[in-house]
Amino acid sequence: MADAPTMGRAGSIDRFRAEQIAALYKAAPVGVVGALLGGIALVGVLVYGELVPLPIAAGWAGVLLLSALAHLLLCAVYRRRGPSAPGWRFWAAAFTLASAVEGLVWGVGSITLITPERIDQQLWVMIATSAVASGAATAFGAYLPAFYALLFPAMVPYVLWSAFHTGFYSHALGFLDLLYVVAMAVLGWRSYRSLEEALQLRFANLDLAENLRLEKDRAEQASLDKSRFLASASHDLRQPVHALSMFVGALLARPMDEEVRRLAIQIDGSVSALDSLFTSLLDISRLDAGVVLYSPQGFAIQPLLERVCRDHEGEARRKGIRLVLHPCRLAVHSDPILLERVLRNLVSNAVRYTERGRVVVGCRRGARLGIEVWDTGPGIPAEERGRVFQEFYQLGNPERDRSKGLGLGLAIVQRLTALLDSPLSLRSTVGKGSVFAVSVPVTEAAGPETMAVALPETAAHGLVLLIDDEAAIQEAMRSLLTGWGYTVLVAGSGDEMLARIATWPDRPNLIISDYRLRGDENGIAVIRRLQSEYNDDIPAMLITGDTAPDRLREAEESGFLLLHKPIHNSRLRAAITNLLARVAAEAEE
């Protein structure tokens, strides 16, 4: 591994060294105190054994005490001021100097506390000095210069002293002392290198984690930017399409010759196709916003499968393929509406991408019920199987033909199956076809089938308050609602509507407001102001082109009926009729 100074930028080197110095100052006090106690013990033994005169021993001990206190004071100042001021280089140099002074004290002691004739005296001094050097390897080993600054001044003086004095035992001890110094120097270097490599690995891991966090933040920000862009673009695109739908609805209610009616109906079909594409975008936004409710119940699976296959049978027949349903008598426990949406997407995809052969829908019983959709289409290559669940990704549509959808069907399926806790699997063979399977819990009891129940249509009359800041939508909605028999008051804001109703004698039967109005005003606040003005919970509905998750959550939580632009005129009429009929039925109870 490369040495620390080659790690990269200067900032990385400084951070690395600062960590070393912090470890050094953290471990040093124990080593300094241990060396001081060892020196005092050595002095006690030498004085007690009458091996050294008391004044010499006391003088040396006093110098050792002063050097140790200075070292401890340096550590205390470091802890108080921290490594950032004045920087790791200063603290490293200061500690190395203190280590050198303490080493010199021990080195001087190793030759002033001994005499050539007393080998026992030399052994005591050598043992104590070696013990201090060994302790310094642990206490000062985090920074190699600091360790060497104590080791060599403490141990080398005795080696030099023994070389200039006669006596076999003195020379032998000096040689052993030299071997010990070399061994400790090598061990200290290796220990330091191990610590250095561990720190390098630690900082590399920290850098990787930080880079990962930054990349994750960038990805999340890009996703948020994409969502905001799509929400804004979707809202702006929905406005004219919504107005167009209302204008077409108003036009179809007028008398016209057959050719003009045929053209109007074709325009209405194109608007419906646009509505379908926008609905797919909205479904993704609603799922991401977490405002899709999951209401599981027991129900028979066969009626749901029959309904899905019946709705796609015409398209399959036009393409010359067979759509086959194998009957199943079991009941499952799931949300019937969301599960039907999943199966509709899977069957629609199978029919769309199958050019010859057949599409088979059936169930496989096990611990759970596997609802499978088989096709004899082109198949999906292994490398593409993960990508087909991504938004806006389509196989076999390089020209981006919008009649083949937006590439959101499987993305919606994946989110819905996760919400339903119904695992989705895919098997495919290129050139032979694919199998999509949804695993659903089986239940014994089947409740009543969930079907949309149409409320009785009420007479189209009464006053409707319409708040929308788009002039085209105001005109289109006014024409449509007036054509249905309603009286309509139109305004672009809450204040404008309050001014209009001030001179209007009738109580409104319905409030319709766009969610996003001028400035910071929104439809929820406007509806509540108008209800407060009449002191009555007047039926109300919100219409929005927003797909931003936070706005969708706020609109869903308002409690008002929420419709999403563009709204086909038939859906709008049905929503108004059902809302007013439900309110009337609740009033009679």
Note whether 430 and 468 are same-domain residues. no
| Full domain range(s) for residue 365 | 297-443
| Beta-carbon contacts of residue 160 (< 8 Å; ≥ 6 apart) | none
Note whether 13 and 130 are same-domain residues. yes
398: domain CATH number?
3.30.565.10
Q: How many structural domains comprise the chain? A: 3
- Per-residue confidence (pLDDT) for residue 4, from 0 to 100: 43
For residue 178, being part of any structural domain is answered with no
Note whether 304 and 417 are same-domain residues. yes
Concatenating the DSSP letter of every residue in 195-260 gives: HHHHHHHHHHHHHHHHHHHHHHHHHHHHHHHHHHHHHHHHHHHHHHHHHHHHHHHHHHTS---HHH
Dist CA 471 CA 451 (whole Å): 38
Concatenating the DSSP letter of every residue in 449-491 gives: -----PPPPPP--SEEEEE-S-HHHHHHHHHHHHHHT-EEEEE
For residue 18, being part of any structural domain is answered with yes
- Per-residue confidence (pLDDT) for residue 359, from 0 to 100: 93
Note whether 418 and 562 are same-domain residues. no
Residue 472: half-sphere exposure toward Cβ, Cα within 13 Å: 12
**Pair 163, 56: CB distance under 8 Å:** no
Domain boundary among 148, 166, 184: 166
For residue 203, being part of any structural domain is answered with no
For residue 449, being part of any structural domain is answered with no
Q: Which residues pair with 247 in a beta bridge?
A: none
- Per-residue confidence (pLDDT) for residue 411, from 0 to 100: 79
For residue 190, being part of any structural domain is answered with no
Note whether 580 and 475 are same-domain residues. yes
3-state secondary structure of 297: strand
194 class by beta-carbon count within 10 Å (0-12 exposed, 13-18 middle, 19+ buried) = exposed
Which amino acid makes up residue 365?
Answer: R
Note whether 19 and 144 are same-domain residues. yes
For residue 179, being part of any structural domain is answered with no
Domain boundary among 383, 410, 443: 443
Note whether 287 and 311 are same-domain residues. no
Pair of tokens at residue 485: 């028999």
Q: Which residues pair with 369 in a beta bridge?
A: 365, 440
- Per-residue confidence (pLDDT) for residue 406, from 0 to 100: 46
Dist CA 107 CA 95 (whole Å): 18
Strand order in the sheet with 369-375: 322-325, 358-365, 369-375, 433-440, 424-429
Strand order in the sheet with 463-467: 487-491, 463-467, 510-514, 540-544, 561-564
Domain boundary among 166, 200, 226: 166
Note whether 55 and 106 are same-domain residues. yes
For residue 249, being part of any structural domain is answered with yes
- Per-residue confidence (pLDDT) for residue 78, from 0 to 100: 86
**Pair 197, 1: CB distance under 8 Å:** yes
For residue 335, being part of any structural domain is answered with yes
- Per-residue confidence (pLDDT) for residue 401, from 0 to 100: 45
> pTM for the full model?
0.41
- Per-residue confidence (pLDDT) for residue 32, from 0 to 100: 86
List the pLDDT tens digit at each of the 589 positions of the chain.
Answer: 334 444 444 456 667 777 778 888 888 888 888 888 888 888 888 888 878 888 888 888 899 899 889 989 988 888 887 666 677 788 888 888 988 898 888 888 888 887 777 777 778 888 888 888 888 877 777 788 888 888 888 888 888 888 777 677 777 877 887 887 788 778 778 777 777 777 677 767 777 888 888 888 887 777 667 666 655 655 666 667 767 777 777 777 778 888 887 877 777 767 666 665 566 555 555 555 555 667 788 899 999 999 889 888 888 888 889 999 999 989 999 988 788 888 988 898 889 888 889 999 999 888 899 999 999 988 888 767 666 666 545 555 444 444 444 456 677 788 888 888 888 888 888 888 899 899 999 987 655 444 433 434 444 578 999 998 888 888 888 888 888 888 999 999 989 999 989 888 888 999 999 888 888 888 899 999 998 988 888 999 988 877 666 666 777 778 888 887 777 777 788 888 888 888 887 777 6
Note whether 388 and 430 are same-domain residues. yes
